[in-house]
Structure 1
Amino acid sequence: MASIDLQPSKLGTKDHWNNVYQREVANFKETGDEGEVWFGEDSVEKMTKWTIAHAPPEMKPYILEVGSGNGTLLFSLLDAGYEPSRLAGIDYSPDAVKLARLIASSRRGEKISFAECNFLFDVPLPVGQQGSSIAGWNIVLDKGTYDAIALGEKDEVGRSPVEGYPGRVAQLLKKGGHFLITSCNFTEEELRASFATEETGMVYHSRVPHKTFSFGGQSGSEYATVAFQKIT
């Protein structure tokens, strides 16, 4: 897995994100600034359009964003017509959750669920589905969280915390459900190698194209957005 080649960084620490969102909560209260849009508005628009195409609002899907931050992606889905009570975001930073809830109140999105959770250790289920044998989410979204986890401290034998991520995603999804991820640290091929495995029960589904660039005779994209589907 390519994650073992990434060196730990402050971007992989909870303290860093707590500090970021403490500042953004203060800024929101003072100026109404909702904070940084991770990967920019274009990535939000592309992920929203993909979700509409494959699980439109009229299907009433249950949608979870892992590492939801200030909630920008979920608010985009709210604006697109998704039921707020079926949208949820989790983040391990309490101030990220606080900020998202403050913004939700200003956008009439109070019914969106934002909760503090480290999903590497917990498997959050949609409201009312606890205890069900078919519990799970129809869509799980990630915009930069996999990247951040990959920058966390390795354990005593050199394993990155991100190695437990694909299995957790598989636990979250209903059979037939989709996982859509945008990453800047991993290529499409690396994401496919990590998530489309026999262990996860997921297969490659589709990709979302981004603008390409050329450098030194090589072409590539700044981001990779890839979708997977759970089939078992």
Structure 2
Amino acid sequence: MATEELNPSKLGTKEHWDQVYELELNNFEEIGEEGEIWFGENSVEKMVDWALDHLPPSENPTILEVGSGNGTLLFGLSEAGYEQTRLAGVDYSEGAVRLAHGIAEQREASSVSFRTCNFLGETPAPLPCHDGSSDTQIWDLLLDKGTYDAIALGPKDEQGRSPARDYPKRVVRLLKPGGIFLITSCNFTEAELKASFCTSETGLVYHSNVRHPTITFGGQTGSSIVTVAFQKPALV
């Protein structure tokens, strides 16, 4: 399914997610509840395991999560041994960022960076380099767990184009040569993600995938979610 074929939904609006995270932030402040884990804990574990296999902590990668929400995935990476100062998350909802900061303090992960940023219209601030300089293309790994799905449900423009059309170009601009984009989706199949991200415009190539439990319905077998990795070619 192409992004233009999806009907807009409240799940694709900032107003919806501001309301969600305002409620989750209130719950966290009152009873310590950290909020919903999008796609469940198993999806977090599988993405962390993929990272451990392909970009282990010993390589000291820089990692950015797009649409980081309450930060669960980045905290999972921190607990797996990744350097906190090399982990960052961005979300366009200020409430999500405030919630992630609160959870980070509770989990002793305050060195993980969380910032408010509209990924489609703004460039995420880079992590400071050790020499005090900075570079926008510093990310070895970009992560997405449901954000592309939500963006694809956003309101279309006057030409009927989805806001998700610009997403792949934003991804490739922020990756280092050789860097990898790892995405988990429930709205798109692996083939559909390949069609959107592996284009002549992005230059991204298929890298690998993650297996999820399958279900059979109507004689067809598949998974309710898919996780796929795409790589930016290294400089020759």
Tell whether the structures are fold-level matches, with TM greater than 0.5: yes
Which of 120-129 and 178-187 deviates more? 120-129
Q: Does 1:191 align with 2:193?
A: yes
Q: CA deviation at 1:192?
A: 0.4
Q: CA deviation at 1:131?
A: 7.0
The 5 Å alignment of 1:63-102 reads: 63-102=63-102
Q: Does 1:28 align with 2:31?
A: no
Aligned mates of 1:121, 1:13 — CA distance in 2: 15
Aligned to 1:105: 105
Aligned mates of 1:206, 1:47 — CA distance in 2: 12
The structure-2 alpha-carbon separation of the partners of 1:43 and 1:156, relative to structure 1 and needing over 3 Å to count, comes to same
Q: For 1:105, give the aligned amino acid.
A: E
Aligned mates of 1:126, 1:82 — CA distance in 2: 17
Aligned mates of 2:134, 2:34 — CA distance in 1: 36
Secondary structure of 1:88 counterpart: strand
TM-score w.r.t. structure 2 length?
Answer: 0.95
Residue pair 1:86, 1:126 contacting (<8 A) in 2 also = no
Secondary structure of 2:24 counterpart: helix
The 5 Å alignment of 1:26-175 reads: 26-128=26-128, 135-175=137-177
Q: CA deviation at 1:119?
A: 1.1
Residue pair 1:38, 1:143 contacting (<8 A) in 2 also = yes
Aligned to 1:181: 183
Aligned mates of 2:54, 2:112 — CA distance in 1: 21
Residue pair 2:136, 2:174 contacting (<8 A) in 1 also = no
Q: For 2:91, give the aligned amino acid.
A: D
Aligned mates of 2:138, 2:107 — CA distance in 1: 27
The runs of 4+ residues in structure 1 deviating greater than 6 Å are: none
TM-score w.r.t. structure 1 length?
Answer: 0.97
Q: CA deviation at 1:102?
A: 0.3
Gaps in structure 1 of 5+ consecutive residues: none
Aligned mates of 2:66, 2:133 — CA distance in 1: 21
Q: For 1:225, give the aligned amino acid.
A: T
Aligned mates of 1:59, 1:141 — CA distance in 2: 17
Q: CA deviation at 1:121?
A: 1.1
Residue pair 1:125, 1:137 contacting (<8 A) in 2 also = no
Aligned to 2:226: 224
Aligned mates of 1:128, 1:154 — CA distance in 2: 36
Aligned mates of 1:125, 1:13 — CA distance in 2: 23
Aligned to 2:11: 11
Q: CA deviation at 1:197?
A: 1.3
The superposition leaves residues 74-99 of structure 1 with CA deviations (integer Å, 9 ceiling, x where unpaired) of 00000001111000000000000000
* Percentage of identical aligned residues: 62
How many residues are paired up? 232
Aligned to 2:213: 211
The superposition leaves residues 130-178 of structure 1 with CA deviations (integer Å, 9 ceiling, x where unpaired) of 9767832000000000000000000000000000000000011000000
Aligned to 2:204: 202
Q: For 1:114, give the aligned amino acid.
A: F
